[in-house]
Structure 1
């Protein structure tokens, strides 16, 4: 990987962002034992279909639309028009030979910057965001600590978003003869006060928000998720 090119790309992407984007108090501490709550809901088949059609007809990814909606929620909470939040990326570039057979967790967290201009249309915002994210695809391997060291306070954030667009079959069985899968379970944790996970299914959109209970109670978290869904609805209606 071209490390210097990656450093330059992140410096440029975050240039002018000089303040952290925080929604929790500065002294908030998250540890393995910190209690979290969780809010989950489905966007609904009608909205999910409309969002997929909206993105497809405009040459956008659904991830771009979701990121823009989340940025609007974070911007409102933080009182900022220049928003930075974290995004989980797989770290498995398709162009790297043999990547699909490599074992290990290559996941990384990188900053996503969204500038919310009231004079800009939603279509313009989405096009700009997708172009910015596409330009950074080859540089997502750079560690978050180094990115934040290069970019300074503007690369600091306390919210995370993950768009889980990988397929999975819970009923799939190993091909090894004589071996049968009887059960599976997934546990996830986060070190961010707010972590949004969006998972598109065949006909819906699963949304989950993990929230630090000492800062965001269940009612606040549900309100955030409902506002997030409302923003997604408005993106389709107003564009």
Structure 2
């Protein structure tokens, strides 16, 4: 059973306990199987292949972060952290989402996509989203019991010049399109991506909005519950579970061998910082959205203004070559959607130098540089 069905089943048990009459069964899981068999499999394959065109490689957030140090890496099992935005901030986010004509789920997803893009430096990024899998056009689908839930990739390419509001509506449109094909098995999507059993993402976002049966709220016949806790694990190293009441609750579950506790907290703080910045101005370009809260950014900039000793005896190009040798795969240059590692930039610089030498350029010979604005 999925979470939606579990709540309904417990509700039925409690109504039985209270001696209440239950309504007749309007639909069965077999009806859903029949609905699945009637779907256009070719249309779903075409949709997902089109989505996958933008994704050059899987989105590996944890691989882009610093590996836990020896003390942190010695911890095992699943970590869990509980975070929340207060009622005022939650109301402000919900109001902003309504003004932009999107759901709060879309707002959270759009913010997480930005975090993924900034951390991995990949133009197109993906995360896993859970979908209810209950078709709107299947009668009584909301009342059926069974395992309907599915996990599918949300793939998008945030553009720096895109306004926050436009970006939100892009993600909302993507979600609506995905709804038409949300029954597609994830292993099929991975196969169409040419990845076989390889995951397309390592983070999962779950927005818990399934209904809670009324019987669970009133605990009939003096029945009471104590120490109730939901235990759930996924095969992904990072899962964000979001639930909205008067406040926005976020449960962060993570593999402690791959992500340190402090890193998990920082990721959630970063997500909250991006959400606040997006909600502050729907017309702001995405390029202006940072991963740090304004106060943290100011402190970081202030810390970076301290004097640093400069090895004057070593020319700049030698310093750069030493850096390229020490960290060849680190990102050295970012321009728009393009990135160059130190090794790539060093290789291009050397190629240009050899070309200039071949043309007779030597020491103290002026070389013109054309800069386009």
- Same fold by TM-score, threshold 0.5 exceeded? yes
* Residue 195 of structure 2 corresponds to residue 172 of structure 1: no
Residue 144 of structure 2 aligns with which residue?
102
CA contact (8 A) 2:78 2:256 kept: yes
* Residue 132 of structure 2 corresponds to residue 90 of structure 1: yes
Question: Gapped runs of 5+ residues in structure 2?
Answer: 1-38, 68-75, 283-373
Would you tell me which structure has more helix in proportion to its own residues?
2
Q: Give the distance between the partners of 1:142 and 1:179, measured in 2 at CA.
A: 44
Question: Gapped runs of 5+ residues in structure 1?
Answer: 29-33
Deviation at 1:98, TM superposition (A): 2.3
Q: Deviations over 1:168-205 (max 9, x none)?
A: 3654336xxx694534432111111111111111x110
Residue 109 of structure 1 aligns to a residue whose secondary structure is strand
Residue 199 of structure 1 aligns to a residue whose secondary structure is strand
Q: Taking structure 1 as reference, are residues 193 and 155 closer, same or farther at Cα in structure 2, changes over 3 Å only? A: closer
CA contact (8 A) 1:17 1:155 kept: no
Residue 209 of structure 2 aligns to a residue whose secondary structure is coil
Residue 71 of structure 1 aligns to a residue whose secondary structure is helix
Residue 191 of structure 1 aligns to a residue whose secondary structure is coil
Between 1 and 2, higher relative CO (CA 8 Å, sep ≥ 6) is seen in 1
**Comparing 105-114 and 5-14, the one that deviates more:** 5-14
Residue 30 of structure 2 aligns with which residue?
none
Residue 102 of structure 2 aligns to a residue whose secondary structure is coil
Residue 193 of structure 2 aligns to a residue whose secondary structure is helix
* Residue 118 of structure 2 corresponds to residue 76 of structure 1: yes
Deviation at 1:17, TM superposition (A): 1.4
Q: Taking structure 1 as reference, are residues 50 and 179 closer, same or farther at Cα in structure 2, changes over 3 Å only? A: closer
Q: Give the one of 11, 15, 23 matched to 2:49.
A: 11
**Comparing 115-124 and 75-84, the one that deviates more:** 75-84
Residue 139 of structure 1 aligns to a residue whose secondary structure is coil
Instruction: Within 5 Å, give how 1:124-139 maps onto structure 2.
Output: 124-139=166-181
Q: Deviations over 1:194-218 (max 9, x none)?
A: 11111111x1100111111011111
Q: Give the distance between the partners of 1:155 and 1:6, measured in 2 at CA.
A: 19
* Residue 259 of structure 2 corresponds to residue 213 of structure 1: no
Residue 61 of structure 2 aligns to a residue whose secondary structure is coil
Residue 91 of structure 2 aligns with which residue?
49
Q: Taking structure 1 as reference, are residues 204 and 179 closer, same or farther at Cα in structure 2, changes over 3 Å only? A: closer
* Residue 211 of structure 2 corresponds to residue 199 of structure 1: no
Q: Give the distance between the partners of 1:216 and 1:222, measured in 2 at CA.
A: 10
Q: Deviations over 1:13-41 (max 9, x none)?
A: 22231211112349x9xxxxx61111211
* Residue 58 of structure 2 corresponds to residue 23 of structure 1: no
Q: Give the distance between the partners of 2:183 and 2:218, measured in 1 at CA.
A: 31
TM-score, L = length of structure 1: 0.88
Residue 180 of structure 2 aligns to a residue whose secondary structure is helix
What is the aligned-residue RMSD (CA, Å)? 2.2
Residue 156 of structure 1 aligns with which residue?
200
Deviation at 1:149, TM superposition (A): 0.9
